[in-house]
Amino acid sequence: MLRILRLLKIIFVVLRFGLDEFVFAHARVRWLRVPLNILLLPRNISKPRAVRLRLSLENLGPIFVKFGQMLSTRRDLLPTDIADELAKLQDQVPPFPSYQAISLLEATYGKPLKEVFQSFEEKPVASASVAQVHFAVLPDGRNAAVKLLRPGISRVIAHDIALLKIAADLIEKLWIDGRRLKPGEVVEEFEKHLCDELDLTREAANGSQLRRNFAKSNLLSVPEMYWEFCTSEVMVMERMYGIPISQIKTIRAAGVDIAKLAANGVEIFYTQVFRDGFFHADMHPGNVQVDTKGQYIALDFGIMGTLTDIDKRYLAQNFIAFFRRDYKRVAEVHIESGWAPAETRIDELEAAIRTVCEPIFDKPLREVSFGRVLLRLFQTSRRFGIEVQPQLVLLQKTLLNIEGLGLQLDPELDLWKTAKPWLEQWMVKQVGWRGFIKSLHSEAPNYAMLLPQLPRLMHQYLSADSGKKNKDMQINILKQYKQNNFLLKLLVIMLFSFFVMEIIRYYVN
Quick: pLDDT tens for 241-291. 999 988 989 999 999 999 899 889 888 988 898 889 899 988 777 789 999
Nearest to 265 by CA among 406, 92, 141: 406
Positions of E strands within 138-224: 143-149, 220-221
Write down the pLDDT at residue 343: 85
Is 452 found in the same domain as 409? no
Asked whether residue 347 falls in the same domain as residue 409, the answer is yes
Q: What is the average pLDDT across 287-305?
A: 91
Task: Choose among 494, 506, 504: nearest CA to 434.
Answer: 504
Count Cβ atoms below 10 Å from residue 18 Cβ, excluding itself.
20
Question: Would you say 378 and 76 are in contact if contact means Cβ atoms under 8 Å apart?
Answer: yes
Of the residues 76, 282, 311, 410, which is catalytic? 282
Read off the pLDDT of each residue in 20-27 and give the average, rounded to a whole number: 58
Residue 161 in any domain: the answer is: yes
Tell me if 248 is assigned to some domain.
Answer: yes
Residue 298 CB contacts under 8 Å (≥ 6 apart), including other chains: 207, 210, 220, 221, 222, 280, 283, 287, 288
Residue 500 belongs to some domain of the structure: yes
User: Does 300 reside within a domain?
Assistant: yes
Same-domain status, 387 and 481: no
Q: Which of 128, 133, 59, 66 is nearest to 93 (CA)?
A: 128
Where on the phi/psi map is residue 96: left (φ > 0), alpha (ψ -120 to 50), or beta?
beta
Q: How confident is the model at residue 484 (pLDDT cuts 50, 70, 90)?
A: very low
Which residue, among 255, 258, 234, has the nearest Cα to 245 in the 3D structure? 258
The DSSP code sequence of 325-342 is T-HHHHHHHHHHTTSS-T
Q: Are 369 and 403 in contact (CB under 8 A)?
A: yes
351 and 478 part of one domain? no
Give the residue among 418, 409, 316, 317 at the shortest CA–CA distance from 365. Answer: 418
Question: How many CB atoms neighbour CB 85 within 10 A?
Answer: 21
Q: Domain end: 137, 163, 196, which one?
A: 196
Q: Which domain holds residue 503?
A: 437-508
Alpha-carbon span 288 to 207, nearest angstrom? 13
Same domain for 308 and 160, yes or no, is no
Number of domain units in the chain: 3
492-499 mean pLDDT: 55
- pLDDT for the residue numbered 50: 85
Indicate whether 59 and 165 sit together in one domain.
yes
Is residue 224 one of the residues assigned to a domain? no
**How many other C-beta atoms lie within 10 A of the C-beta of residue 44?**
9
Which of 383, 407, 431 is the endpoint of a domain? 431
Q: Is residue 412 part of a domain?
A: yes
pLDDT in tens, 138-169: 999 999 999 999 988 888 888 888 877 877 77
The alpha-helical segments, DSSP class H, found in 241-345 are: 248-253, 258-270, 309-323, 327-336
Q: At what angle do helices 62-72 and 153-174 cross, to 10 degrees?
A: 50
As beta bridge partners, residue 304 has 280
Q: Do 61 and 170 share a domain, yes or no? A: yes
76 and 158, same domain (yes or no): yes
Both 173 and 245 in one domain: the answer is no
What CA–CA distances, in Å, run from 97 to 93, 121, 122, 366? 12, 13, 9, 47
Q: Cβ(301)–Cβ(240) under 8 Å?
A: no
Residues 468 and 412 reside in one and the same domain: no
Mean pLDDT of the chain: 77
Residue 66 resides in a domain: yes
DSSP string, 356-373: HHHHHHTS-GGG--HHHH
According to the model, what pLDDT value does residue 483 have? Answer: 46
Domain end marker among 431, 453, 476:
431
Say what the pTM is.
0.71
Q: What are phi and psi of 257, to 5 degrees?
A: -75, 105
| CA 333 to chain centroid | 22
Asked about 199 being catalytic, the answer comes back as: no
Strands 296-298 and 220-221: parallel
pLDDT band at 413 (very low <50, low <70, confident <90, very high): confident
Same domain membership, residue 392 and residue 309: yes
Provide the pLDDT for residue 507: 47
Cβ density class 299-328: b for 16+ within 10 Å, e for less: bbbbbbbebeeebbbbbbbbbbbbbeeebe
Q: Which of 242-256, 302-316, 378-392 has the lowest mean pLDDT?
A: 378-392
Asked if residue 344 is part of any domain, the answer here is yes
The answer to whether residues 52 and 185 belong to one domain is yes
Percent of the chain with pLDDT over 70: 67
